[in-house]
A and B are shown apart, each in its own frame.
Chain A
Amino acid sequence: MGEYMVYDTVCKRRGDFFVATLYEKRTMLTYAIRRLILVLPTLWAVVTFVFFLIRIVPGGPAVAALGSYATEESIRQLEKQMGLDKPILVQYGSFLKNLCRGDLGKSLITHKPISQEIFRALPYTLDLAIGGMIIGILFGIPSGIMTALRRNRAPDYIGRILSLVGISMPEFYLGILLMYLFAIKLQLFPVLGGGDFSHLGSRLYHLFLPALTLGIIMTAFVSRMVRSSMLNVLGEDYVRTARAKGLPERKVIYKHALRNALIPTVTVIGIYMSILMGGSVLTEIIFSRPGLGKMMVFAVKDRDYIALQSVIIIFSAFVFLFNLITDLLYAVIDPRIEYH
């Protein structure tokens, strides 16, 4: 974790010392349209990248899956199974064709269609990402506001240290600590699995600790983000004007400052989601949640390259989607923002 793109969007507004991406002014609409048009080609590029990367495994994925001294026969058999015996472009063609049909291939280990497994695992990962984000926003925004308003006083220092701790903590370590405390010592929560998805209570019960793990880290990020953006806004002219006009401080803060400060926070939901999805990999391993992250790690360890290829494609498709939503929201919500 550690996506500092979050920070860079704040600075986009100010064009300051750090990062400024303002250069040309375009209208919002053209920008949005351009982004949308580029979705498909970019997704295609992602997919192609994964496809070719998998195939540059030294010796070929079949050899890597079977081991360096595999017999000729078994290699050829697996290659046929994976469709590797055909020329690379033909493979690529059929890969794309299948992809459009929704056929993600068959796992090299279970020989079952991967789309089934992905379909089963996806909700658990999305649950986790959304849960983590909700906790992060719920606690991060108030604490960010508080530390911004009480700048340089005790709450600020405590808040800043805590959030610094939060972003310095590896999520798997935090997960282990939380699991030890809540699930073992206090026996409050389960350690296993994702629970019965169709049953809401079980689902939430199994979601709590993993989501809390990611949520704590998210809170730290959000809090810092909100603090910076509040401080920026509080220094802006229109805030000073509002104060000079004699408006009550409360109104200044909540009506003017906060709303403007929250804009960049809210618009980076997409980035949060991508951080969360990255963090979900280890959290799922620790808590044995049957999600995409866990599937991905197992695919790597089992050398199931077809499964790995498909899971990563789906995963990145989602992340890409969230990034896209971010950029569009950002452009839509604040017309004052300049962008390229």
Chain B
Amino acid sequence: MSRKGIFVRTFRRNKISVVGLLMALCLVIIAVIAPWISPYDPISQDISVQHAPPGWAHLFGADSYGRDQLSRVLWGSRVSLVVGLLSVLFAMAAGIPLGMIGGYKGGWVDNLVLRFIDIFMSFPIVILGLLVLAVMGPGLMKIVIAIGVALTPRIARLARGSTLSVKGKEYIEAARAVGQNDARIMMIHVLPNIFGDILVMGTLWVATAIIVEASLSFIGLGVRPPTPSWGAMIRDGLDQLTNAPWLSLFPGLAIFVSVFSFNLIADGLRDISDPKLRG
């Protein structure tokens, strides 16, 4: 059975990752159907319910403008998820080729890639995100790019490492012996075999990306108001912490639950592949 097949089968058997996957799927589904399941329009204001505590009319309460928090949290999942997934995809699209080429080719190419990785790893993700946003200005796609750029070296490093371990395998030797060129070898033989590792780390990075997006929104560099974003909601709620603590509580929980689910998946995946770590 192919490596991939074994992988999928053991994944299904591992409880942790299944739970995580289910949670993450719920999140994705919520993000998609948010417009239909939200009880209210997330940006419509109603001053008469200003700072309403959680109750029947507003399950998560209402903010200073009387906007329904539940609807805003539901809609906020769209921003977090889009940023989380797209930025990791961006980083993969940029980082995998980079790491693969460096790892496979070796020599000065590899050195160049390594130096590139070194340089960019000097910036903690939030900092690089900050820097990129400072240059580009705020906005949803810009955040995706900012976080994507910050994650690229990390994924490149990963891809490189995996490539190095795969490089010595027989099928690579065989392909080379047959006379296939480097590009083909990388695409057909290396890529599918390193993809598993990347996927695992990818889920972790999605978790990270969600936190980083929330952090940047919290600082004020996120999407424009009145679009709901969990980080920005926590920030607004902070001013009312003593009189309306639920305003920061629920978006924070939402972030936590989302990140937790992706971490669960990643943990589960790790446990599968490494019997010594398994429970």
Residues of chain A with a CB closer than 8 A to B274's CB? 16-18
Which residues does chain B contribute within 8 Å of A208, judged by CB atoms? none
Taking a contact as CB atoms under 8 Å apart, the answer to whether A285 and B119 are in contact is: no
Assuming the A-B contacts A180-B241, A296-B130, are A19 and B197 also in contact, with contact meaning beta carbons closer than 8 angstroms in the complex? Answer: yes
Contacts of A50 in B (CB 8 A): 131
Decide: A176 and B164 in contact? CB cutoff 8 A: no
- Count: A-B pairs, CB below 8 Å: 183
Chain B, interface SS category: helix
For residue B67, CB closer than 8 A to chain A, the reply is no
Bound form: Cα–Cα A313–B139 in Å: 25
Give the dominant DSSP class at A's interface: helix
Please tell me which one of the listed residues A45, A156, A317 contacts residue B279 in the complex, with CB atoms under 8 A apart. A156
Judge whether B126 and A301 touch: CB under 8 Å.
no
A22 on interface, CB distance cutoff 8 Å: yes
Quote the shortest CB–CB distance from A214 to chain B (angstroms). Answer: 12
A172-B218, A282-B126, A312-B127 known; A18-B263 Cβ under 8 A: no
Q: State how many angstroms separate the Cβ of B135 from the closest Cβ of chain A.
A: 5
For residue B118, CB closer than 8 A to chain A, the reply is yes
Question: In angstroms, how far is the closest chain A Cβ from the Cβ of B193?
Answer: 11
Whether B131 and A176, one on each chain, are in contact in the complex, defined by CB atoms closer than 8 angstroms, is no
B115 in contact with A38 (CB, 8 Å): yes
**A155 → chain B closest CB, angstroms:** 12
Which A residues touch B200, using CB under 8 A? Answer: 18
Please tell me if the beta carbons of A42 and B123 are within 8 angstroms of each other in the complex: no
Picked from A18, A172, A296, the residue with its CB within 8 Å of the CB of B215 is A172
* Nearest B residue to A316, CB-CB: B122
Known contacts A53-B135, A282-B215; A176/B122 CB under 8 A = no
When the two chains form their complex, are residues A300 and B221 in contact, meaning their CB atoms are under 8 A apart?
A: yes
Interface string of B244-266 (1 = CB under 8 A from A): 01001000100110011001100
Q: Which of A42, A152, A308, A317 contacts B118 (CB 8 A)?
A: A42
Q: In this assembly, does A32 line the interface, its C-beta being within 8 Å of a C-beta of chain B?
A: no
A213 at the interface (CB under 8 A from B): no
- A20 and B207 contacting across the interface, CB-CB below 8 Å: no
Which of the residues A170, A227, A228, A319 comes within 8 Å of B252, measured between beta carbons? A170
Q: Is B238 an interface residue (CB 8 A)?
A: yes
A242 partner residues in chain B, CB cutoff 8 A: none
- Give B258's nearest chain A residue, CB to CB: A168
Q: Does A182 contact B (CB under 8 A)?
A: no
Q: Is A332 an interface residue (CB 8 A)?
A: no
The answer to whether B54 has its CB under 8 Å from any CB of chain A is no
Q: Using Cβ atoms and an 8 Å threshold, which residues of chain A touch B167?
A: 23
Chain B residues, Cβ within 8 Å of A303: 134
Q: Which of B132, B205, B207 contacts A168 (CB 8 A)?
A: B207
Residues of A within 8 A of B160 (CB): 21
Contact between A296 and B122, CB atoms less than 8 A apart: no
Residue A165 is within 8 A (CB to CB) of chain B in the complex = yes
Q: Knowing A18-B200, A21-B164, A46-B119 touch, does A2 contact B241 (C-beta < 8 A)? A: no
Report the bound CA distance from A167 to B134 in whole Å.
27
Instruction: Report the minimum CB–CB distance from A117 to chain B (whole Å).
Output: 17
Q: Given A4-B204, A57-B135, A184-B242, A173–B256 Cβ distance below 8 Å?
A: yes
13 A/B residue pairs, CB under 8 Å, sorted by A: A2-B204, A5-B121, A16-B274, A21-B164, A53-B135, A168-B259, A169-B256, A177-B252, A282-B219, A300-B134, A301-B219, A305-B134, A317-B122
Q: Could you list which residues of chain A lie within 8 angstroms of chain B, going by C-beta atoms?
A: 1-5, 7-8, 15-23, 38, 41-42, 45-46, 49-50, 53-54, 56-58, 151-152, 156-157, 160, 164-165, 167-173, 176-177, 180, 184, 227-228, 231-232, 234-235, 274-275, 277-279, 281-282, 285, 296-297, 299-301, 303, 305, 308, 312, 315-317, 319-320, 323, 340
- B residues contacting A by CB (< 8 A) are 115, 118-119, 121-127, 130-136, 154, 157-158, 160-162, 164-165, 167, 196-197, 200-201, 204-205, 207-208, 211, 214-215, 218-221, 231, 234, 238, 241-242, 245, 248, 252, 255-256, 259-260, 263-264, 267, 270, 273-274, 276-277, 279
